[in-house]
């Protein structure tokens, strides 16, 4: 369960004429994925799963009244298709496509309806834990790749650090002693399938393997990232700002103990010439006597300029998640701004989320 994440704010008023430079990198990658998927359908030793997804969300703000969206989470209907292909030595190819049709009530234009392509990646296993990933996938930085906040109310710091969760590119992951690591090269456009204004993104994370009670990792990223664009694939997002140079280092930790699940991350870096940073701590508690009910609390803080206290954003959130069935969950959360240079706001959300076969 997870809820809050103010949208990342861009900095600088560089000339916008550079935005006319465009290179379609994602389209050839998407075409290649489709060709591989078509070819895979003819192979033996394959297994596939199709999931349906429905998200219904309503919220209320003491500043804006009724709202129908929460950060990058909107009312939507979608699907996820997963296919694994194996030979006598085991799985060697995995394809995952996750997309949804969303409706954003906060959009005052005629583009409230949107197609969002989230996962569109292909994994090729080289053996000995080495994997090459191609397509649109989570940027390997911070908590996001391991906690997957796709449908959740509480969010990680990813939207502040990068401005999006997934990017088009190629990645490689493997092991290094007692640790796992992943690196990626992306085009820095988020859901958009076109590279513009010289955008690119280099990122990587090294940390303890999945499945451990205590997990921790270190991350870094560097690149020119497109900022200020809507979170959608079609209609093509409009880029209102030039690409922004971003540099980050980050640390994250997760600890699971009995009924408690603790998550935290911290990050420091630069947006152009401004020093930025933030931190997050979240604690979830699953009731031992009613394990379909989980309570959560999250505190987070972010600043767009470490030298200017007026640009700090902090909030406290309380949430609850009730699993009606294994495929259906009802969630609610209340978020209160502790610090906000624009206005203090309290938001309450109620969500019904279905994800099943």
- For 37, the enclosing helix (H) or strand (E) is helix 26-40
Q: Does residue 5 fall inside a structural domain?
A: no
Classified as helix, coil or strand, 129 is coil
Looking at the structure of the chain, the number of domains it has is 1
Q: Does residue 154 fall inside a structural domain?
A: yes
pLDDT at 31: 59
Our measurement of the distance from residue 228's CA atom to the centroid of its chain's CA atoms, rounded to an integer in Å, reads 16
Taking the alpha carbons of 191, 195, 197, 198 in that order, is the dihedral positive or negative?
positive
- Quick check: 18 pLDDT over 70? no
Q: Averaged over 252-271, what is the pLDDT?
A: 97
CA dist., res. 240 & res. 226, Å (int): 9
Q: Does residue 8 fall inside a structural domain?
A: no
Distances, alpha carbon 115 to alpha carbons 67, 158, 209, in Å: 20, 21, 34
CA dist., res. 159 & res. 215, Å (int): 22
Q: Does residue 2 fall inside a structural domain?
A: no
pTM of the entire structure?
0.87
- 248 in Cβ contact with 219 (< 8 Å): yes
Q: What DSSP assignment string belongs to 232-299?
A: -SBSPPP--S--EEEEEEEEEEEEEETTEEEEEEEEEEEETTEEEEEEEEEEEEE-TT-TTEEEEEEE
Q: Does residue 3 fall inside a structural domain?
A: no
Residue 201: count other Cβ atoms within 10 Å of its Cβ: 26
Q: What is the CATH number of the domain that holds 166?
A: 2.40.160.10
Q: Averaged over 69-83, what is the pLDDT?
A: 87
pLDDT at 3: 38
CA dist., res. 135 & res. 123, Å (int): 9
In which domain, by residue range, is 96 found? 16-356
- Quick check: 245 pLDDT over 70? yes
Q: Averaged over 185-212, what is the pLDDT?
A: 93
Residue 38: count other Cβ atoms within 10 Å of its Cβ: 9
Q: Does residue 9 fall inside a structural domain?
A: no
Q: Which of 41-50, 103-112, 342-351 has the lowest mean pLDDT?
A: 41-50
pLDDT at 64: 86
Number of H helices, E strands in the chain: 3, 20
Instruction: Report pLDDT digits (tens) over 152-172.
Output: 999 999 999 999 999 999 999
Q: Does residue 11 fall inside a structural domain?
A: no
Q: What DSSP assignment string belongs to 207-241?
A: EPPTT-SEEEEEEEEEEEE--S--S-SBSPPP--S
CA dist., res. 317 & res. 3, Å (int): 8
Instruction: Report pLDDT digits (tens) over 84-113.
Output: 998 877 789 999 999 999 998 776 667 889
Comparing C-alpha atoms, which of 195, 172, 157 is closest to residue 4? Answer: 157
Q: Does residue 76 fall inside a structural domain?
A: yes
Q: Which residue has the tokens 């190819």?
A: 93
- 195 in Cβ contact with 22 (< 8 Å): yes
Look up residue 164 and give its two tokens: 């999006």
Nearby residues of 330 by Cβ (< 8 Å), 6 or more positions away: 321, 322, 324, 350, 351, 352, 353
Backbone phi, then psi, for 141, in 5-degree steps? -155, 130
């Amino acid at each position: 369960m997870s809820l809050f994440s103010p949208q990342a704010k861009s900095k600088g008023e560089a000339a916008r004429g550079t935005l006319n430079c465009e290179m379609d990198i994602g389209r050839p990658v998407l075409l290649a994925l489709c060709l591989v998927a078509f070819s895979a359908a003819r192979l033996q030793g394959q297994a596939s799963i199709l999931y349906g997804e429905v998200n219904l969300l309503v919220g209320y703000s003491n500043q804006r009244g009724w709202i129908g969206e929460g950060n990058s989470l909107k009312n939507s209907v979608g699907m996820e298709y997963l296919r694994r292909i194996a030979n006598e030595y085991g799985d060697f190819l995995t394809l995952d496509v996750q997309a949804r049709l969303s409706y954003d009530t906060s959009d005052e234009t005629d583009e409230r309806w949107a197609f969002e392509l989230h996962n569109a990646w292909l994994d090729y296993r080289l053996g000995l834990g080495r994997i090459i990933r191609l397509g649109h996938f989570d940027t390997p930085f911070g908590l996001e790749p391991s906690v997957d906040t796709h449908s959740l109310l509480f969010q990680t710091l990813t939207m502040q650090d990068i401005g999006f969760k997934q990017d088009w590119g190629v990645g490689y992951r493997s092991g290094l002693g007692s640790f796992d690591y992943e690196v990626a090269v992306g085009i820095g456009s988020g859901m958009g399938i076109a590279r513009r204004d010289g955008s690119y993104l280099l990122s990587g994370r090294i940390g303890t393997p999945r499945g451990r009670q205590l997990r921790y990792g270190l991350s870094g990223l560097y690149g020119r990232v497109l900022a200020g664009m809507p979170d959608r694939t079609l209609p093509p997002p409009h880029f209102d700002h030039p690409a922004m140079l971003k540099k980050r280092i980050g640390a994250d930790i997760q600890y699971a103990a009995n009924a408690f699940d603790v998550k935290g991350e911290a990050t420091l870096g630069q947006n152009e010439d401004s020093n930025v940073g933030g931190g997050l701590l979240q604690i979830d508690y699953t009731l031992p006597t009613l394990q379909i009910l989980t309570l959560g609390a999250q505190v987070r803080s972010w600043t767009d300029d470490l030298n200017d206290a007026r640009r700090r954003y902090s909030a406290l959130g309380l949430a609850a998640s009730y699993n009606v069935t294994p495929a259906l969950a009802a969630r609610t959360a209340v978020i209160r701004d502790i610090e906000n240079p624009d206005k203090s706001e309290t938001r309450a959300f109620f969500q019904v989320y279905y994800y099943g076969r």
